[in-house]
């Protein structure tokens, strides 16, 4: 999902932790109690969460770029307002998530630094370009749709701040998903030319959307531990299947063809079976070689560098103000 | 009469739409995440105002043009927005100065327009007044922070004020359209706003340790469709979809 690069194992050996505390922690998780920031937690749990929440936050921030690419060219004022509001929501999600990560003892500055240095990952989906207006609808429908599949179970995540952030995020994502679908519905009904534009968008976004769920279960090294900690509730493949089952009928309703020759409905299981994902492409994009990886990172770096003097000014001003207050207090005493 | 009201409403709509378009360019590129959200919010308010004003202009005109036809299918010389709102974003200081000058004018403007004899304009103004109060607070606070921040931010903020100052004269221009509508109790006489506008700017600039330039020579032309060179580029981007795919529903 937005955290699909969690398939790498921690390289450092875990510190030895008190077995009783670990057992007590696990008992609380098993009893569906929420773990709060000041509670004791295993170091691995904390690290996994910091990584997952920050990857999620970074994805929201980088995700503003492909959609932001169309704000200035939205075809109507209504669509322009909706897109602005949506991208603004993504920024808001990033803000919540950085705050949730901060409760685990890592600052937003550190996390930003990790993103800009390329050390931290974000969802590979945002390394694909938005070429036509239909891509804005496709992102809402498919990308937000896939995000919801993953994030609804995260509302029950064992870590309190993350689960609470997800409840609000999910409400907004679900609105975005419907908005994206409605945008496409309007297009396919308006003209054949627009319908072709929508089909082209689906052709380009379908497979990258399936990749959002991360590696298949056989290759996902973190799944079992995350499931035991109730950070994760379903495996990557389970979530991917749910997404395909929900989305294929929606594509058909739009009169579109899913770009997969192997797609077929299995009457016995009630599931849509689909072809093999191009895992080479997935690995390549995660490793930094997608169509827009360099552009996205360059855009974030430029915004950060161009804004440095503004942030410095804000800090300088707030220091001056505090100093003046302090001086005034001394003078009064 | 109808044509004066149409022209007047359309100018207000163009001001809002063009400023919203400029502000939207920041999204994803602002100095902080909070400002990405904040500037998008200000942009949204202006797009919302533009929608109401264009819809009403279309109604007043009675030729069947809707908000999108008015925004996306008119040409450079037909736009009546003031030059200030179309000025490029520049650095963050320029965006803030543009907003400060505009919102310091629009807050009292909308407040007075709530008393318009035209009920629709009065209703639009009532909503816009609340938004302008927020925009003024936002841009005023940033002006103070940047002016009284570091040596670099102070220099940039002063440069921005000096750069955009000549575009403020147009806010107070009165032509026959405005004159006739003021006489009818529909429009706001901008001269009645000048003192408040100037006092607001002086208060903000004093606290920001910045200097307001003398009144001096002012730019003009936006209200009669003579825009900056950059304006055509703004329109070609904003209107691209409606021009490339005419007559379609989105």
Q: Tens digit of pLDDT for each residue in A163-217? A: 999 999 999 999 999 999 999 999 999 999 999 999 999 999 999 999 999 999 8
Q: What local confidence, expressed as pLDDT, does residue A5 receive?
A: 56
Question: A294 touching B, CB under 8 A?
Answer: no
Contacts of A133 in chain B (CB under 8 A): 241, 250
Residue A327 has pLDDT above 80, yes or no: yes
* Alpha-carbon separation of residue B167 from A54, A60, A252, B227, B234 (angstroms): 44, 37, 54, 11, 18
pTM here is 0.95
Contact B44 A84 (CB under 8 A): yes
Q: How far is B176 from chain A (nearest CA, A)?
A: 30
What distance in Å separates the CA atoms of residue A299 and residue A302, rounded to the nearest whole number? 5
**Chain B residue closest to A194 (CA)?**
B248
Instruction: Give the dihedral sign, CA B241/B244/B246/B249.
Output: negative
**B51 Cα to chain A: minimum distance (Å):** 7
Kindly tell me if the per-residue pLDDT of A6 is higher than 70: no
Q: Is A2 a residue whose pLDDT tops 90?
A: no
- A98 contacts on B by Cβ (under 8 Å): 33
Q: What is the mean pLDDT of residues A86-110?
A: 95
- Backbone φ/ψ region at B28: left (φ over 0), alpha (ψ -120 to 50), beta: left
**Of A11 and B168, which is predicted with more confidence?**
B168
Summarize pLDDT for B15-30 with one digit per residue, the tens.
999 999 999 999 999 9
Secondary structure of residue B120 in the 3-state scheme: helix
pLDDT at residue B2 greater than cutoff 90: no
Strand partners, A266: A271
User: To 10 degrees, what angle do helices B92-113 and B33-61 make?
Assistant: 40
Closest to B147 (Cα-Cα) out of B90, B95, B214, B204: B204
A125 touches chain B (CB under 8 A): no
Helices (H), chain A: 19-30, 43-68, 77-102, 108-116, 134-138, 144-154, 160-190, 192-211, 223-228, 236-253, 279-286, 293-306, 308-332
Distance CA B5, CA B17 (A): 18
User: Residues A51, A16, A218, A238: is their CA dihedral positive or negative?
Assistant: negative
Lowest mean pLDDT: which of A17-21, A220-224, A254-258?
Answer: A220-224
Beta bridge partners of A272: A265
B148 contacts A94? CB cut-off 8 A:
no
Three-state DSSP class for residue B248: coil
A87 with B31: Cβ contact below 8 A: no
* Summary mean pLDDT of chain A: 94
The per-residue pLDDT for A55 is: 96
In this prediction, residue B1 carries a pLDDT of: 47
Alpha-carbon gap: B197 to the closest alpha carbon of chain A (Å): 25
Q: CB of A309 within 8 Å of any CB in chain B?
A: yes
pLDDT confidence tier of residue A224, bands split at 50, 70 and 90: confident
Q: Are B45 and B135 in contact (CB under 8 A)?
A: yes
Confidence of residue A151 (pLDDT cuts 50, 70, 90): very high
B113: left (phi over 0), alpha (psi -120 to 50) or beta: alpha
Our CA-based measurement puts residue A60 at a distance from the nearest CA of chain B, in whole angstroms, of 10
Contact B155, A309 (CB under 8 A): no
Q: Residue B164 above 60 pLDDT?
A: yes
- Residue B92 structure tokens: 């963050």
Domain boundaries, chain B: 2-244
Chain A residues with beta carbon closer than 8 angstroms to that of B21: 72
CATH number of B2-244: 1.20.1260.10
pLDDT, residue B215, reads 87
Per-residue pLDDT band for A7 (boundaries 50, 70, 90) equals very low
Q: Give the whole-number percent of chain A exceeding pLDDT 90.
A: 91
pLDDT at site B206: 98
Please answer yes or no on whether B25 and A307 come within 8 Å at the CB atom: no
Tell me what the pLDDT averaged over chain B comes to: 97
Which pLDDT belongs to residue B132? 98
Chain A residues in contact with B144 (beta carbon < 8 A): 317
pLDDT at A15: 58
Q: Does A178 touch chain B (CB under 8 A)?
A: no
A186 contact B CB<8A? yes
pLDDT digits (tens, 9 = 90+) for B179-217: 999 999 999 999 999 999 999 999 999 999 999 999 899
pLDDT band at B221 (very low <50, low <70, confident <90, very high): very high
% of chain A with per-residue pLDDT over 70? 95
Distance in Å, alpha carbon of B21 to nearest chain A alpha carbon: 6
């Amino acid at each position: 999902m937005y955290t699909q690069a969690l398939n790498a194992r921690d390289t450092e050996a875990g510190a030895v932790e008190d077995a009783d505390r670990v057992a007590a922690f696990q008992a609380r998780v098993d009893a569906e109690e929420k773990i709060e920031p000041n509670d004791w937690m295993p170091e691995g749990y904390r690290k996994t969460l910091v990584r997952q929440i920050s990857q999620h936050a970074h994805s929201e921030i980088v995700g503003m770029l492909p959609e932001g690419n169309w704000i200035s060219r939205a075809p109507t004022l209504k669509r322009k307002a909706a897109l602005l509001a949506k991208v603004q929501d993504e920024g808001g999600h990033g803000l919540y998530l950085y705050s949730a990560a901060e409760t685990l003892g890592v600052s937003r500055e550190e996390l930003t630094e990790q993103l800009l240095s390329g050390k931290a990952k974000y969802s590979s989906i945002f390394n694909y370009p938005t070429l036509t207006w239909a891509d804005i609808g496709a992102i809402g429908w498919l990308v937000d749709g896939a995000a919801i599949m993953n994030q609804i179970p995260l509302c029950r995540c064992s870590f309190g701040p993350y689960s609470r952030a997800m409840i609000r995020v999910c409400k907004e994502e679900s609105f975005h998903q419907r908005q994206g679908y409605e945008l496409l519905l309007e297009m396919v009904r308006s003209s054949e030319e627009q319908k072709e534009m929508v089909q082209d968008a689906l052709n380009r976004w379908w497979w990258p959307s399936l990749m959002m769920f991360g590696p298949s279960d056989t290759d996902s090294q973190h799944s079992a531990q995350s499931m035991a900690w109730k950070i994760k509730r379903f495996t990557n493949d389970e979530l991917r299947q749910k997404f395909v089952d929900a989305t294929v009928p929606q594509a058909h309703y739009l009169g579109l063809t899913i770009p997969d020759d192997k797609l077929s409905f299995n009457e016995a299981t009630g599931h849509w079976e689909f072809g093999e994902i191009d895992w080479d492409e997935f690995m390549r994009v995660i490793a930094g070689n997608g169509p827009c990886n360099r552009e996205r990172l360059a855009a974030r770096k430029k915004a950060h560098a161009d804004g440095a003097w503004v942030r410095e000014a804000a800090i300088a001003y707030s220091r001056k103000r505090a100093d003046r207050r302090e001086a005034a207090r001394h003078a009064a005493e | 009469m109808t044509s004066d009201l149409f022209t007047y409403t359309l100018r207000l709509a163009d001001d809002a739409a063009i400023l919203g378009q400029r502000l939207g360019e920041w999204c994803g590129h602002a100095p902080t995440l909070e400002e990405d959200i904040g500037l998008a919010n200000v942009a949204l308010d202006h797009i919302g105002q533009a929608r109401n004003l264009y819809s009403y202009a279309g109604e007043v005109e009675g030729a069947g043009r809707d908000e999108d036809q008015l925004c996306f299918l008119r040409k450079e010389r037909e736009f009546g927005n003031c030059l200030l709102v179309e000025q490029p974003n520049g650095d963050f200081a320029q965006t803030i100065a543009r907003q400060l000058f505009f919102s310091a004018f629009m807050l009292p403007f909308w407040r007075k327009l709530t008393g318009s004899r035209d009920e629709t304009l009065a209703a639009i103004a009532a909503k816009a007044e609340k938004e302008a109060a927020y925009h003024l607070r936002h841009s005023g606070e940033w002006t103070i922070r940047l002016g009284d921040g570091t040596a670099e931010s102070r220099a940039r903020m002063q440069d921005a004020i000096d750069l955009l100052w000549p575009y403020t004269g147009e806010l107070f221009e009165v032509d026959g359209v405005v004159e006739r509508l003021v006489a009818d109790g529909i429009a706001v006489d901008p001269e009645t706003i000048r003192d408040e506008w100037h006092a607001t700017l002086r208060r903000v600039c004093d606290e920001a340790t910045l200097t307001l330039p003398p009144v001096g020579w002012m730019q003009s032309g936006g209200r009669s469709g003579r825009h900056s060179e950059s304006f055509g580029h703004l329109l070609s981007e904003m209107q691209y979809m409606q021009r490339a795919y005419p007559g379609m529903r989105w």
